[in-house]
Structure formats: C-alpha cells, structure tokens
C-alpha cells in the first residue's frame, strides 16, 4: 500500500511540474504538434478549394484561397520567423492539383510526382537551413515580403518557393528555393540566387554568382551587385543589346508580310539571342568557362565574327 501511495505521489508531482511548465509557457507548442496540425489544415483547405473550383463556386473558392494564404503566413512565421505581407497563389497554380493529374497530363512516372501540401511545413524547415535563406532574411526581414508558391512538378517534381522583398522606392529583391515533392530534398544546384530590379532606373540583375550576391548583401544598396570595372562595361553593353533587340521586335514583328520575311526576322532574333547569352555569361563571371567558349565558337560558326564592340571589350580584359 505504501508503495502504491509513493508511486501516486511521484506521478502527481511529475504531472504538476509538467502542467506548471505548460501553464508558464502556454504558447510553446511542440513543432511536432504544430507540424501535424498545419499539415492537416493545409490538406483540408486545398481539398475545399479544389471542390469549389470544380463547382465553379468562385465566391467560396476565393474564401478558401484566403484561408490558405492566412495559414501559409502563419506557418511561415512559425518556421521561418518572418512576417509575410502577401502570399501569391497564381491562377492555374492553385488549388494544388492531385499528383495523378500531372502524371496523366505529362505521361510521368507515378512514383516521381507526389502531393505536397501536407509537406509544406517540412519544406519551410528545409528552407531555413540554407545559406540562401539566411542571407536573404538577414538583409530583407524588415521590408515588405511576398511568398509565392508555384507548382513545377512537371519538371523534376519541383515545388517552387519564391521570396520577394520590396521597399517604398520601387526596388525589389527576390530569391527562390526548389524542393522535390517526393523525397522532400532541395534540388537547387547553386548555393545562392538573387535577382534585383529597380523600376526607376530599369536596373536588372539576376545571378547565381556567389561573390556578386555576397557583395549585394553586404553593400548599402537595396539590391545591387558591385561588379569589377570590366564586367560592368560588359553589363552596360548587354543592356544596350537588350534595348536594341526590344526595338527590333517592335519594329518588325507586326510588319511581317510573308514567310520569307518571317524567316529573316526570326533568324536575326536568334542571332541577337545567341549574342545576348554570351554577353550575360561573361557578365556573370564565366568568360573562361568551357560552356561560354563553346557558345562563342558556335556563334562564330553560325553567325560569323562577334561584334567589334564586344571583341574590343574582350581585348580590354586581356590587356588588364
């Protein structure tokens, strides 16, 4: 009898201590509990969205979509500790379709495409473990942030998570993460990615170049890679090429009168596109890469010599 009383007392003390810990910190929900809770909610909301979408009940569909956006904001804060201003679920990308639809549409292996809505909390945890996320969050956590989720399961079974930061000066910075929907592993080959855009100056730069991205994160600009003088001159040349191609398209695409003219216009556009690929590869610091050198050889074989202005830039690099 004394033994039983002793056990009851010990158990009672343990329960009291446990309850005391819970009461003293009522908001401390174990991640395993919140993971299961979020997974179930994500699944249920997506099911409702699918149901209303098929029924063409757009009012209820929009309501369920807002529910999904709210819970994604909540998950993002719990797992990534960032306040998200907006969750972008693009038409045609949401509701998240059953994997069987992708298998049928693209004739994929059924084992290569999986449903992912229940795994989103896990994906968030994986994202927080990346250097790409840590650096982006460190610089942009105090700005307006948008989360976008794109269903890319037709390509490598990927789920695309994009983060966009914006300030009040019409400038933006963005990065992304890809997670395999079946094995829940990150599929990005590069450590970092950053895209910068300034609507006022039309500055645009997207790169995987590690040093360029680190320089952008560490300098005083909202989002701008500080290139060395030679690559900066190639960048400016590339900007000029982009404008020339845009002007060419506007001038000729709407005035094609016959098949022969169409072939000529497309041939010129392909030439400009091939040149642009070479230039931007150089801008990203890959002039000496075999792939860039092969692109140059292919251009010369198909279109002739590189433009004199680019050849002069390359010569300047060799002189420096």
Confidence of residue 260 (pLDDT cuts 50, 70, 90): confident
Confidence of residue 258 (pLDDT cuts 50, 70, 90): confident
Q: What pLDDT, on the 0 to 100 scale, is given for residue 259? A: 86
Q: In the numeric block, which tokens belong to residue 221?
A: 């600009």
- 136 close to 163: Cβ distance less than 8 angstroms: yes
Q: 3-class secondary structure for 102-148?
A: HHHHHCCCHHHCCCCHHHHHHHHHHHHCCHHHHHHHHHHCCCEEEEE
**Residue 195: in which H helix or E strand, if any?**
strand 194-198
The region that residue 132 occupies, defined by phi over 0 for left and psi between -120 and 50 for alpha, beta otherwise, is alpha
Angle at 42 between CA 37 and CA 47, to 5 degrees: 130
Q: Residue holding tokens 């098949």?
A: 259
Q: What pLDDT, on the 0 to 100 scale, is given for residue 33? A: 60
Confidence of residue 271 (pLDDT cuts 50, 70, 90): very high
**Annotated domain spans of the chain:** 31-218, 229-319
Count of other CB atoms within 10 angstroms of residue 200: 8
DSSP string of 138-189, one letter each residue: HHHTTSEEEEEEEEETTTTTEEEEEEEEE-TTSEEEEEEEEEETTT--B---
What one-character DSSP code corresponds to residue 85? Answer: S
For the cut 90, the answer to whether the pLDDT of residue 257 exceeds it is no
Q: What pLDDT, on the 0 to 100 scale, is given for residue 15? A: 36
Please write the tens of the pLDDT for every residue from 176-190.
999 999 999 999 999
Average pLDDT over residues 209-230: 95
Does residue 95 have a cis bond before it (omega within 30 degrees)? yes
Confidence of residue 9 (pLDDT cuts 50, 70, 90): very low
Q: Is the pTM of this model over 0.85?
A: no
């Amino acid at each position: 009898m004394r033994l039983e009383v002793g056990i009851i007392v010990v158990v009672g003390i343990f329960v009291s201590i446990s309850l005391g810990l819970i009461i003293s910190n009522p908001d401390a929900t174990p991640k395993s509990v919140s993971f299961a809770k979020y997974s179930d909610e994500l699944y249920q909301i997506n099911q409702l969205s699918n149901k209303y979408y098929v029924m063409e009940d757009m009012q209820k569909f929009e309501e369920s979509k807002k529910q999904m956006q709210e819970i994604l904001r909540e998950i993002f804060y719990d797992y990534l500790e960032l306040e998200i201003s907006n969750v972008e679920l693009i038409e045609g990308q949401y509701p998240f379709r059953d994997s069987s639809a992708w298998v049928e549409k693209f004739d994929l292996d059924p084992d290569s495409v999986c449903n992912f809505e229940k795994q989103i909390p896990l994906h968030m945890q994986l994202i927080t473990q990346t250097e790409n996320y840590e650096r982006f969050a460190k610089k942009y956590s105090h700005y307006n942030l948008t989360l976008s989720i794109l269903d890319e399961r037709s390509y490598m079974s990927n789920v695309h998570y994009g983060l966009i930061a914006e300030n009040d000066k019409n400038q933006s910075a963005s990065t992304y993460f890809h997670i395999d929907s079946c094995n829940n592993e990150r599929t990005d080959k590069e450590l970092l990615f950053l895209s910068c855009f300034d609507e006022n100056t039309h500055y645009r730069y997207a790169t995987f170049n590690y040093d360029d991205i680190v320089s952008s994160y560490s300098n005083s600009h909202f989002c701008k890679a500080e290139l060395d003088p030679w690559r900066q001159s190639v960048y400016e040349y590339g900007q000029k090429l982009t404008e020339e191609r845009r002007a060419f398209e506007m001038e000729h695409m709407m005035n094609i009168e016959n098949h022969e003219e169409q072939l000529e216009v497309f041939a010129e556009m392909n030439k400009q596109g091939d040149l642009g690929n070479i230039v931007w590869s150089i801008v990203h610091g890959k002039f000496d890469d075999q792939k860039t050198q092969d692109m140059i050889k292919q251009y010369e074989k198909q279109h002739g010599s590189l433009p004199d202005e680019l050849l002069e830039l390359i010569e300047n690099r060799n002189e420096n």
